[in-house]
Structure formats: structure tokens, C-alpha cells
Structure 1
Amino acid sequence: MTHRPLGKDIAWLPADLEDQDRWIHVLTPAEIADVDQALKAAQKAGRSIETLTRESFPLTVLPETLQRTVDRLENDLGLYVLRGLPVEPYTKDELRLIYWGIGLHMGTAVTQSFKGDVLGDVKDFGQSASTASGRGYMSKEDLGFHTDTSDIVSLFVLRTAKSGGRSLFCSSVAVADEIRRTRPDLFDVLQQPFFWHWKGHEQPGEKPYYQQPVFTIRDGKFSSRWVATHILSAQEFPEVPRLSDVQIEAMKLVNSLASDPRFHTSMMFEPGDFQFLNNHVVYHARTEFEDWDEPDRKRHLLRLWLSVPNTRTLDEGMKAIYRDVNGGAVRGGFPSHTDQLVFETKASEF
């Protein structure tokens, strides 16, 4: 295979994040007031999260920062944090409305499971990611490096844990570039299709697995999708070919590089943080956490999966999961098995 350059994407290392102004923006008093005024306008108009529109959440100051966020996600490091929104003055429902309204000004939320949930609650529901139906974001376990099934993943921090729950992230471009430099044979392997488990998100009549590479490059833009457990789980189907020795070696190398402190960095969330990551160029992980005993103090984040207008065109190899590979398309997420959208996660429903 002829090696194509990783091209237009930035293969950053932890030292490149030392200038925090490049990827962390502390909200100004004017921007905080803008959010508050938009919330009040939505409430005055009688809008709920189900009926909220971009126009009924009228931001006038913050959009410039949101546009910069979207640009940095696609054309710079692939990560950006907005910090400093006071959460104490607001109820949980008001914070959900604020987050949904901000998301409407950035792009389109896509569903996070076949249940139709578009606004996820990241908290310990007592689940385990190692079970067949368990979702990692519903547990307190550590989560290995992975990507989510959307162009952008965003987290809004309401409350932090008693200890732990540190957010880790690395440039998948840097990981891929290192593999291409040191093991070009495995770089080739990772550009070839692997079998993946749908984890119950297949459409009626579809097989419970599909094929997709880990690395792709299209028009000079890189994209990686990495959920090692979904590849390993596909091995439970007898008709799926067994992973070859070189495929296993390639997977181990991706994981070991992402887990190497030379490649990843971390941050401890603060209440009022909004974290945005471009799934195509950034892997993320989380350390295990110990939560508070009191229910109203437990770690609680909200999550959006977003399609935004300036996203890259993807390789055809990514079509199984994204369905539409055209740049700027509303894509990703998991097609809902219901017409009803879900705006709050309840563990009993998953």
C-alpha cells in the first residue's frame, strides 16, 4: 500500500498543550450574562427542552466563542474547553436547558443509543462496561482510550466526584503517525477493515456486526474510530473471522501508545466546564472515581454528541457507522428504534 501523508491534521503531544489559551477559554462576565439572559428568554416564552429552538435561546455575545470552538475542533488540536459557567444558581432542569441551547447554536445533536437519547447523563448508575449491555458512562469504572460515534463529543460538568474521574485525552493523529513511522506494516493493517460488534444498535434485519477500519485518510484529513472492546466482542460470533496475529499486534500498539504519558495528557474537571472533542482526531479516557454518598453530591455530567457544519468528508470505509460520509452532514449516532427523543437518561431504560 502506498503511504499517504497524514496531512492537514495536527499530531500534538502533551507539551503542545502548555499554552492553555490555545484550548481553554474562560467565559467572560458578558458571555455568562448572555447565557443567563438566553435562559430567561426561553423560560419567558414557555419553552421546555423538547420545544427549545436556536431562535428561542437567543445568544448574542457567546456565538463568536462557539464559532471559534467549532473551528479549533476541526482545524487545530481537536479539543476545546469552555470554563467558568456558575452552576450553583441554577436548577438541574435549567442547566439541561442551557446546555441544549448552547448545543443548538453549535450544530445538531445525534442519538447516543437506539433508545433515542440525545442528552445523556454521565453518572454512576451501577452498570459495568464489561457486560453485554453495559454502557461505560453509566459506571464509575475507568474507561480506556476510545472514541464516541459522532463527529464531536461534548461534556458539561454539573458536579465532580469525591475523588478520581480524571479526563485523559490524546491525539490519535500522533498515535497513527508514530505507528506509520515505526511500524508501517501495522499502519497498513489498521487501514484495513476489522469486524465490529453493533452492541445491540443494529437496525432490524441487519447482522449484529459490521466492518470498518481503525484508520482512514480522505482528502488529506485523517479519521480514526477506536473502541477496542467492540472489535474484541465481535469475536463472539462464530461466522466472524478470527483476529489475525498482526491485527492483535496492531490493536495492542494503538492502546499502548495512547496509554503512554508521552502521548496523552489529562485534566480534572471543574463544575461549569464544557469539554468538546473531535472524535476523528482525539481519543479520550477516564480514570475510575469514588463518589459521594449523598445523592445530591454525586458526580454528574451531561453529554451531547454533535454534528457541526464544518466537519470533514470521511472515507467510504466509515460509512457503516456514520451512514453519510459527506463533510458537514448530520451523521453518526445510533439510529433510534423509536420516534421519541430522550432528554434524560434513566438506568432502568438501558
Structure 2
Amino acid sequence: MGAVRMSPEVSTRPVTGPSVWTAADFESGEPYVRHLTGAELNALDEDATVHADLIAELVDRLENGIGYAVLRGLPLGTRYTPEQASRIHRTIAEHIGEIVPQSRKGDLVRVLEDAHHPAQRGGTYASKAGAPFHTDPTDVVSYLCLSPALSGGARVVASAATVYNALLREHPEWLDLVHREYATDWEGEQPDGEPGWSPRPIFSVAGGVLTCSLATKRIISAMRFEDVPRLGAEEMTCLMYLDSLLRRPGTAVHVNLRVGDMEFVGNHTVIHSRTGFVDDPSDPGHQRRLRRLWINRGAEGRPLVPALRRWRAGLS
């Protein structure tokens, strides 16, 4: 069997509260969007400070709300250059937590764009094809939209709690499977001295709080290592079922980021992906470029099981 070992606690109760949502909950608008005020922009201009109320609201949305927020209203291209907007993005992120490395080389920032760009390295994020649903191994991932694609490239987000509740209703016999730890491929980004995979549970409970860490593609690809147990038929069926839940009509929300938008995703409660995209080779304003940060909330973040806690500080 492909699981490494059991998590010490299994949740058998449906999740309730604002972290449980579907696309239907956002039909009347974009409640995840928080618009920057003129006073907040002036403060950033004058002394590079961020209003405490703004940070408190973002943190509350991430920790106690839907787990997702888009900060809109940064006038990139008129009031701010890409470099100035990037500094503002970093300043806001630093007030949420610690910016941590996204690679074994210690990269604190990654710019996501077409893989043909000479500065771009490999990986799903560097492909024009759609990305699989997944969570990143730190507390919060944040993106600044420097420019959108000509078409496509929508961010796709779904509630992990909604997926878990569906599992409880439809396949409670798989609760044991999703709480086990599975070898998860680092795809070459493992820290020095670590194997090419790490054991992580898909769902886990710490401090009475349910957390999700899902990366189906990486769980399957980890079997390329000889020391990783093979996935059994039931485990594969369960993984495909979870992926199908995310793709059911009405589960996930598609978000088209605008120039200057800053997106914040709570990795422990929101599963994300993106659609494929097409760039305009003759127009830099329609060539998809996102600036990505990983943020560690540390002791102020939610409690995590040891297998997840060790990675919230990023890679290096």
C-alpha cells in the first residue's frame, strides 16, 4: 500500500462555518475581493506602511473566513511601476507572516510566466497547460498579477472543507485512507539531505482543526522512487475521487486576476489550480506574469501535525 502511516486523529464530523463554500455562494458578486482605499494607498506612498486594519482583515479572512482573498485597486502601470508594486506586495506579505523560500536554492520570489521566457525554470507553473489542483506546503501563497494572459489563465479555488464534507457523505469508508501519510514528490526541490519525497497526510487534525494538504499529481509521481510504497487500487480510486469532487460543476470558483491584483490563498483550507492560457507574443501587456510569495504564519498560524509543520517554513 502507498500510505506511509496513520495520522493520530481522524475527523468524523462535517466541517461547519465560513470555510465551507461552493461557487453558488459567490454568484451574487465577488465577496473575496477587498478593495484598497485611497487612505491605504497614500500610506503606502508616504511611508511604506500598511494600515493595521487591512492586515487584520486579511488575516481574519485567511484564518477564520473563507481562506481566500483578492486585494484589488493597486494602480499598476499608472501610479506604480512593476518594481514599486512588487515592493508593496512584499510589504503587505511581511505583515501577514514571514516570506520563506520556494526552492532549495532559497528563492524568496518566483515569477510565473510562459516557460519559453529565458529566466523561467521548469515545473507545472511554467507551462501554458492547466495546472492540477493542489496545495502548497506553506501557510499562505500570494500572487501579484503583473500582467494577464491574452486568454485563459484563470485562478481556480475550492474549499477543502466542502470536499471533505462530500467525502463524509459519499464515502466515509475512505476516512482512514485520507488521514494517512503519503509519499509526496518534491519534483527536485527537496531540501539538502532530504529524500526526493516527503510523507504528508491529505487531511489531518491538530488542535481540533481540520487541515488539507493535497497534491495528487505529486503523490502518484512519488512512486518513481524505489523506496516509496506502491499505491493500491483503493488508494488510487480515492485519489481520483477527490480530484473528481474538485471538478464537479459548482464546486470551484474561477477568478480572473486583473493587473495589480494581489491574491492570498490559505493553503490549509483552500485547494487551488489554474486554467490553461494563451499569451499575445506581440503585446507584453497580455503575457501572463504573476509574482509569487510563500508566507509562513508560524506560531500565529493554525496548529499542524508534525508532518506538515516542518515544511511551513519553506524550502532551502
Q: Same fold (TM over 0.5)?
A: yes
In structure 1, C-alpha distance between the alignment counterparts of 2:172 and 2:294, rounded to whole Å: 33
Which has the larger displacement, 7-16 or 139-148?
Answer: 7-16
- Aligned residue for 2:41, secondary structure, equals helix
Contact 2:10 2:204 in 1 (8 A): no
In structure 1, C-alpha distance between the alignment counterparts of 2:11 and 2:37, rounded to whole Å: 45
In structure 2, C-alpha distance between the alignment counterparts of 1:164 and 1:192, rounded to whole Å: 36
- Aligned residue for 2:96, secondary structure, equals coil
Mark the runs of 5 or more structure 2 residues left unpaired by the alignment. Answer: 1-8
Q: Output one character per residue of 1:172-205: Cα deviation in whole Å (capped at 9) or x when no partner.
A: 1110111121101122201112112222233333
In structure 1, C-alpha distance between the alignment counterparts of 2:178 and 2:25, rounded to whole Å: 26
Number of equivalenced pairs: 301
Aligned to 2:4: none
Corresponding residue to 1:102 among 56, 81, 92 = 92
Aligned to 1:76: 65
Aligned to 1:268: 256
**Greater strand proportion:** 2
Q: Output one character per residue of 1:294-325: Cα deviation in whole Å (capped at 9) or x when no partner.
A: 36322211111112363110123424x52xxx
Displacement, 1:3? 4.4
Corresponding residue to 2:270 among 282, 293, 308 = 282
Are residues 1:26 and 2:31 paired? no
Corresponding residue to 2:188 among 182, 200, 206 = 200
Contact 2:204 2:211 in 1 (8 A): yes
Aligned to 2:211: 223
In structure 2, C-alpha distance between the alignment counterparts of 1:7 and 1:145, rounded to whole Å: 21
In structure 1, C-alpha distance between the alignment counterparts of 2:10 and 2:268, rounded to whole Å: 22
Q: Relative to structure 1, is the Cα distance of residues 3 and 147 closer, same or farther in structure 2, using a 3 angstrom cutoff? A: closer
CA RMSD of aligned residues (A): 2.1
Contact 1:197 1:234 in 2 (8 A): yes
Displacement, 1:36? 2.2
Contact 1:146 1:226 in 2 (8 A): yes
Report the AA paired with residue 22 of structure 2: L
- Aligned residue for 1:196, secondary structure, equals strand
Percent identity among equivalent residues?
A: 32
TM-score by length of 1: 0.80
Displacement, 1:213? 1.3
Q: Output one character per residue of 1:52-85: Cα deviation in whole Å (capped at 9) or x when no partner.
A: xxxxx333xx331121011111101001111111
Q: How does 1:33-182 map to 2 (within 5 A)?
A: 33-38=42-47, 57-59=48-50, 62-89=51-78, 90-126=80-116, 134-182=122-170
In structure 1, C-alpha distance between the alignment counterparts of 2:155 and 2:10, rounded to whole Å: 36
Corresponding residue to 1:294 among 269, 272, 282 = 282
Contact 1:175 1:254 in 2 (8 A): yes
Contact 2:11 2:210 in 1 (8 A): no
Contact 2:10 2:205 in 1 (8 A): no
Report the AA paired with residue 106 of structure 1: I
In structure 2, C-alpha distance between the alignment counterparts of 1:64 and 1:105, rounded to whole Å: 11
Aligned to 2:5: none
Mark the runs of 5 or more structure 1 residues left unpaired by the alignment. Answer: 39-56, 128-132, 323-330, 337-350
Report the AA paired with residue 252 of structure 2: H
In structure 2, C-alpha distance between the alignment counterparts of 1:7 and 1:161, rounded to whole Å: 36
Q: Relative to structure 1, is the Cα distance of residues 181 and 118 closer, same or farther in structure 2, using a 3 angstrom cutoff? A: same
Q: Output one character per residue of 1:88-135: Cα deviation in whole Å (capped at 9) or x when no partner.
A: 1322222222211222222110111112111211111238xxxxx832
Q: Relative to structure 1, is the Cα distance of residues 86 and 204 closer, same or farther in structure 2, using a 3 angstrom cutoff? A: closer
Q: Which has the higher contact order (CA 8 A, sep 6+)?
A: 2
Q: Relative to structure 1, is the Cα distance of residues 21 and 251 closer, same or farther in structure 2, using a 3 angstrom cutoff? A: closer
- Aligned residue for 1:96, secondary structure, equals helix
In structure 1, C-alpha distance between the alignment counterparts of 2:30 and 2:56, rounded to whole Å: 16
Contact 2:10 2:176 in 1 (8 A): no
Report the AA paired with residue 121 of structure 1: V
Report the AA paired with residue 210 of structure 2: F
Q: Relative to structure 1, is the Cα distance of residues 26 and 226 closer, same or farther in structure 2, using a 3 angstrom cutoff? A: same
In structure 1, C-alpha distance between the alignment counterparts of 2:30 and 2:275, rounded to whole Å: 25
Report the AA paired with residue 83 of structure 1: R
In structure 2, C-alpha distance between the alignment counterparts of 1:251 and 1:16, rounded to whole Å: 26
Q: Relative to structure 1, is the Cα distance of residues 246 and 97 closer, same or farther in structure 2, using a 3 angstrom cutoff? A: same
In structure 2, C-alpha distance between the alignment counterparts of 1:214 and 1:273, rounded to whole Å: 30
In structure 1, C-alpha distance between the alignment counterparts of 2:157 and 2:265, rounded to whole Å: 9
In structure 2, C-alpha distance between the alignment counterparts of 1:125 and 1:37, rounded to whole Å: 37
In structure 2, C-alpha distance between the alignment counterparts of 1:261 and 1:281, rounded to whole Å: 20
Contact 2:86 2:144 in 1 (8 A): no
TM-score by length of 2: 0.88
